[in-house]
């Protein structure tokens, strides 16, 4: 949970999560039974509303505003009661949606829908109930064995700096820095360590480096920092990790099925404006900003995730730009056949852009987990990327309920504005001070 409660940690968190799931299922079944009897009560109406498009769009919009505030002024809203309430309501809304759609059947459309929504539910669910169970600490290792770590980034700030004895001794065998040829720019930091289990005496040799953590005793051991004669490791233990991975897998499957279904249904002709727009975009980027990449990237950027993560986001930005242009054109062109085509392009591009943004965020989260031990750091650029994605979700959920083209265009304008903040504006926000995403900015 994002707000610390002393009683919320394991095993209480497991018990509360099971009770929550049981209550969600019982309430959904009760509401469904009432409707099956041909009756409609205030209770069944509330459940229907919570799982409906309108409420989903509203609660996502509220969450987007809060995340935008957090990502602009670095206010720790993610630790506030209002934010936790919004996340709980959003999680419950998605839960009711999943339970209702699970009764529909298993067409390709519904499988994609369920995979996306169950995956999203599991990620929020694990974050909500499991945040207090994430154990993070720093361990200073040298030639002398050490097993006393210091807790960091706790949900409860009062716990930060507290000693956290672990059940194994760690000794530093060697620390090395690899540099780029003919430069003083570091390419990699590596610690070779010996771990001795304090229970059974088992001894193993491990290597940890940036983007390549070692694993032992349920912990991931990250290369965090170093000093003269010592290295600092970040130790992370997350009991809810498998559930988050499963949620990510479902989201990935749902994304692939969504792509397949849309391009099967609407035809490959919509790839033409997408590819054309992408080509123009890349031409403009490399003409006006040829130094967008570095020959000596920092160690955290030396990852196989770099190219797909950045490329997917660029693809997403192009699709949403095309959607915005077509939406504007649709307002001024008064020929029915052209309006129909423009409407289809907008729909496909928004769905495509939203899906790509989701994949981009997931790839970034997996990369961040490997590099820094966190899926999400509530960083300015991360937050605004999430805001952009949530605005596309608002559009998708409310489009059929609000057919007014001007309102739809306004939502797309907000999404495009959020893209600009994410791409380069985030570097200039108050919340960007110390951001892990402003390594190329001048400070």
Q: Are the CB atoms for 251 and 358 separated by under 8 Å?
A: yes
Identify which of 101, 123, 116 has the alpha carbon closest to the alpha carbon of residue 246.
Answer: 123
115 Cβ contact partners less than 8 Å away, ≥ 6 residues apart: 250, 251, 253, 254, 257
Rounded-to-integer distance, Cα 376 and Cα 285, Å: 28
pLDDT digits (tens, 9 = 90+) for 389-442: 999 999 999 998 998 999 999 999 999 999 999 988 878 888 777 666 765 444
Quick check: helix, strand or coil at residue 195?
A: strand
Kindly report, residue by residue over 355-399, the tens digit of the pLDDT: 999 999 999 999 999 999 998 988 899 999 999 999 999 999 999
Question: Which CATH architecture is the domain 135-237 placed in?
Answer: Sandwich (2.60)
User: pLDDT per residue over 5-62, tens digit each?
Assistant: 555 788 899 999 999 999 999 999 999 998 888 888 899 999 999 999 999 999 999 9
- The helix, strand and coil proportions of the chain, stated in percent and rounded to the nearest 5, come to 60, 15, 25
Nearest to 166 by CA among 122, 197, 203, 120: 197
- Rounded Cα–Cα distance for residues 248 and 181 (Å): 38
pTM, rounded to two decimals: 0.90
Q: What average pLDDT score do residues 305-327 get?
A: 90
Q: How many other C-beta atoms lie within 10 A of the C-beta of residue 123?
A: 23
Q: Name the least confident of 88-97, 276-285, 415-424, 427-436.
A: 276-285
Looking at residue 430, its pLDDT comes to: 86
Asked if residue 327 lies in contact with residue 412, where contact means CB atoms within 8 angstroms, the answer is: yes
Distance of CA 12 to the CA centre of its chain: 26
């Amino acid at each position: 949970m994002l707000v610390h409660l002393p009683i919320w940690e394991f095993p209480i968190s497991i018990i509360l999560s099971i009770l929550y799931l049981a209550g969600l299922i019982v309430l959904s079944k009760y509401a469904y039974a009432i409707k099956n009897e041909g009756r409609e009560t205030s209770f069944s109406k509330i459940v229907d509303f919570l799982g409906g498009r309108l409420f989903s769009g509203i609660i996502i919009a509220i969450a987007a505003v809060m995340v935008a505030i957090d990502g602009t002024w670095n206010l720790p809203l993610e630790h506030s009661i209002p934010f936790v309430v919004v996340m709980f309501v959003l999680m419950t809304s998605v839960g009711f949606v999943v339970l209702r759609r699970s009764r529909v059947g298993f067409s390709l459309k519904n499988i994609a829908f369920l995979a996306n929504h169950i995956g999203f539910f599991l990620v929020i669910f694990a974050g909500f109930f499991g945040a207090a169970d994430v154990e993070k600490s720093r361990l200073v290792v040298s030639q002398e064995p050490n097993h006393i770590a210091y807790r960091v980034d706790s949900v409860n700030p009062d716990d930060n700096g507290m000693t956290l004895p672990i059940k194994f001794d760690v000794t530093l065998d060697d620390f090395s820095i690899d540099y780029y040829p003919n430069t003083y720019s570091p390419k990699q930091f590596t610690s070779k360590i010996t771990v001795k289990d304090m229970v059974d005496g088992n001894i193993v040799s491990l290597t940890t480096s940036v983007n390549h953590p070692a694993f032992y005793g349920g912990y991931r051991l990250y290369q965090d920092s170093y000093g003269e004669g010592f290295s600092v490791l970040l130790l992370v233990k997350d009991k809810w990790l498998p559930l988050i991975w499963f949620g990510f897998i479902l989201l990935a499957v749902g994304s692939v099925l969504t792509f397949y279904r849309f391009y099967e249904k609407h035809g490959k002709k919509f790839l033409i404006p997408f590819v054309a727009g992408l080509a123009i975009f890349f031409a403009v980027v490399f003409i006006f900003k040829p130094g967008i990449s570095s020959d000596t990237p920092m160690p955290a950027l030396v990852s196989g995730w770099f190219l797909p993560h950045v490329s997917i986001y660029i693809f997403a930005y192009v699709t949403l730009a095309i959607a915005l242009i077509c939406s504007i054109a649709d307002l001024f062109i008064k020929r029915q056949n052209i309006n129909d085509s423009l409407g289809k392009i907008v729909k496909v591009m928004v769905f495509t852009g939203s899906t790509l943004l989701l994949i981009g965020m997931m790839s970034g989260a997996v990369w961040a987990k490997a590099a820094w031990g966190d899926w999400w750091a509530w960083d300015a650029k991360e937050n605004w990327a999430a805001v952009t994605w949530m605005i596309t979700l608002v559009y998708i959920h409310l489009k059929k309920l609000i057919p007014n083209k001007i309102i739809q265009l306004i939502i797309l304008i907000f999404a495009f504005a959020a893209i600009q903040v994410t791409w380069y504006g985030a570097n200039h926000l108050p919340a960007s001070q110390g951001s892990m995403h402003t390594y190329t900015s001048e400070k």
